[in-house]
Amino acid sequence: MLRRAARRDRLIGLFILAVLLFNPPILNLFGGFVFGWPALYIYLFVAWAVIIAGVAFVVERNAPATDERGNRVP
């Protein structure tokens, strides 16, 4: 139960972080071109990927091992 609560708290933390990163005013800090690429293009996709990786890390680390059919692997 404790682990589940910790996971919930981490996801809420990630949610708040994502809300901040994905929205103005923070994203308005990026503009123009960096190394010939649009800065905002790079920023948004990197931030997005980082958040997804964070969520995957949180949910997969504590998930019980299951095979494709959802049976528990011994």
In whole angstroms, give the CA distance from residue 2 to residue 35.
46
Contact predicate 65/72, CB 8 Å: yes
In whole angstroms, give the CA distance from residue 74 to residue 66.
9
Of residues 2, 3, 5, 68, which one binds another protein by CB under 8 A? 68
Window 5 to 64, contacts with another protein (CB under 8 A): 7-8, 11-12, 14-15, 18-19, 22-25, 27-33, 36-41, 44-45, 48-49, 51-53, 55-56, 59-60, 63
Of residues 2, 3, 5, 69, which one binds another protein by CB under 8 A? 69
